[in-house]
Amino acid sequence: MSTKSRNYFLDNYKALLILLVVMGHFIEPCHTNNPVLESLKWIIFSFHMPAFIFISGFFSKRAMSLEKLIQKLVIPYFVYELLYYFLYVFVIHKETGLYLNRPKFSLWYLMALFFWRIITPYFQKIPGNMAIAFTAGLLIGYTQLGNFFSIPRTLFFYPFFLAGYYFQEDWFEILRRHWKAFTLSLTAFVCFFLGTAFLTGTELTTFIFYGRYSYEDMDMPGMEGLLVRAGCYVISFLMFFALSAVIPRKRYFFSVLGVRTMPIYLFHGLLYSVLKATPLLENVDTYTETVLLLSSCVGITFLLACDRPNRFVNRISSFPVRLPKLPKLPGPPALRGGQLPFFRSKGRMAR
């Protein structure tokens, strides 16, 4: 892509998000050790994967054949599942099996992305598809599927992918102009959300944003769980929209992180798994150690964005796949007047 046509706003947003993905995982064993880590975990998990998936949906408008999806997602999934399996069994001696229908660590995203790319061109033809996606994301919390084919997370996060799929590039300018409204709405809703949870005695953990756990797993088996999850949807969208105002629009030294998110996403989990098997991460306690940990996350993110990890990922996702006469999946529908089912803009946007 040429310099003139490249959207550095989204590159920079992805750079922030992939850094938060790394930080979110590395602070997991020690997030209860001090208030800074605890607060940081809440902030990160409230929006980083929803925003990442939203942008993935935005970039999924281009039609792609099934053999291409197998090449880019299915083959890498099997390769990295094997890598994690060998790491768990022979390096950190963790009891596990080669359960290809139960993704290890962060590989659920590859599986979910494959399903989203497959079904969305057809699902978007169904009237009220956005409402259906939200309903499915809410109702799946009543099941006990666990990590089976990552179905709970696939359905929970699908509304973010679908919203990104519909989203038009010009609408990011609308978000930038109305950032104050999104920020105020976010602040008001978070206060209401936390206040309601406090008054009702609901014990909240960051698991509410994971999408993996059922309402029963989180001790919210009734309507309470559904309402909390609905609140999570609102918070995640508002966080993504509000932060759109502060993401730079120009190319910077860190923009490369947004271009090379896949090697960072895939390989940081291997390093994290090794360190988690030691007492190093869980013993991070003081604020000095916290700063060192977060600084190390920044260093790891840039290190994994180097040429060698990127070349390895590109080679894995370039394995030739030949399937007979498979048509390209249809692209997104033509939107009239730049309208999304839940997002309407009157008139033409001022430039």
Q: How confident is the model at residue 329 (pLDDT cuts 50, 70, 90)?
A: low
Return the SS3 of 165. Answer: helix
Buried b (16+ CB within 10 A) or exposed e, 123-135: bbeeeebbeebbe
Flag whether pLDDT at 320 surpasses 90: no
Residue 198 lies in a domain: yes
Buried b (16+ CB within 10 A) or exposed e, 232-271: bbebbbbbbbbbbeebeeeeeebbebbebbbbbbbbbbbb
166-214 residue pLDDT tens: 999 889 888 888 888 999 999 999 999 989 988 888 889 999 999 999 9
Flag whether pLDDT at 338 surpasses 60: no
Average pLDDT for the chain: 89
| DSSP state at residue 335 | P
What pLDDT score was predicted for residue 135?
Answer: 97
What pLDDT score was predicted for residue 325?
Answer: 64
Residue 127 lies in a domain: yes
**Cα–chain-centroid distance for residue 46?**
10
What pLDDT score was predicted for residue 151?
Answer: 96
First CA to last CA distance, the chain: 24
Q: H or E stretch including 333?
A: none
When pLDDT is averaged across residues 333-345 and rounded to a whole number, the result is 45
Residue 308 lies in a domain: yes
When pLDDT is averaged across residues 234-248 and rounded to a whole number, the result is 93
Token pair, residue 27, equals 């602070």
- Name, in order, each residue with C-beta under 8 angstroms of 90's C-beta and a sequence gap of 6 or more: none
Residue 37 lies in a domain: yes
Residue 329 lies in a domain: no
**Cα–chain-centroid distance for residue 299?**
21
What pLDDT score was predicted for residue 211?
Answer: 95
pLDDT over 70 percentage in the chain: 91
Tell which wins on pLDDT, 7 or 127: 127
125-176 residue pLDDT tens: 999 999 999 999 999 999 999 889 999 999 999 999 999 999 998 898 888 8
What pLDDT score was predicted for residue 99?
Answer: 87
What pLDDT score was predicted for residue 40?
Answer: 96
Residue 241 lies in a domain: yes
Return the SS3 of 65. Answer: strand
Q: How confident is the model at residue 251 (pLDDT cuts 50, 70, 90)?
A: very high
Residue 192 lies in a domain: yes
**Cα–chain-centroid distance for residue 343?**
22
Q: How confident is the model at residue 344 (pLDDT cuts 50, 70, 90)?
A: very low
Torsion of CA 299, 77, 14, 298, to 10 degrees: -10
Tell which wins on pLDDT, 347 or 118: 118
DSSP 231-244: HHHHHHHHHHHHHT
CB 137 within 8 A of CB 229: yes
Residue 57 lies in a domain: yes
146: left (phi over 0), alpha (psi -120 to 50) or beta: left
Query: Among 327, 345, 325, 321, which residue's Cα sits nearest to residue 335?
Result: 345
Backbone angles phi, psi at 343, to 5 degrees: -140, 115
Backbone angles phi, psi at 51, to 5 degrees: -65, -40
Q: Residue 340 forms beta bridges with which residues?
A: 343
What pLDDT score was predicted for residue 328?
Answer: 60
The residue range of the domain holding 250 is 8-321
Q: Please give the tally of structural domains in the chain.
A: 1
Cα–Cα dist 171/59, whole Å: 14
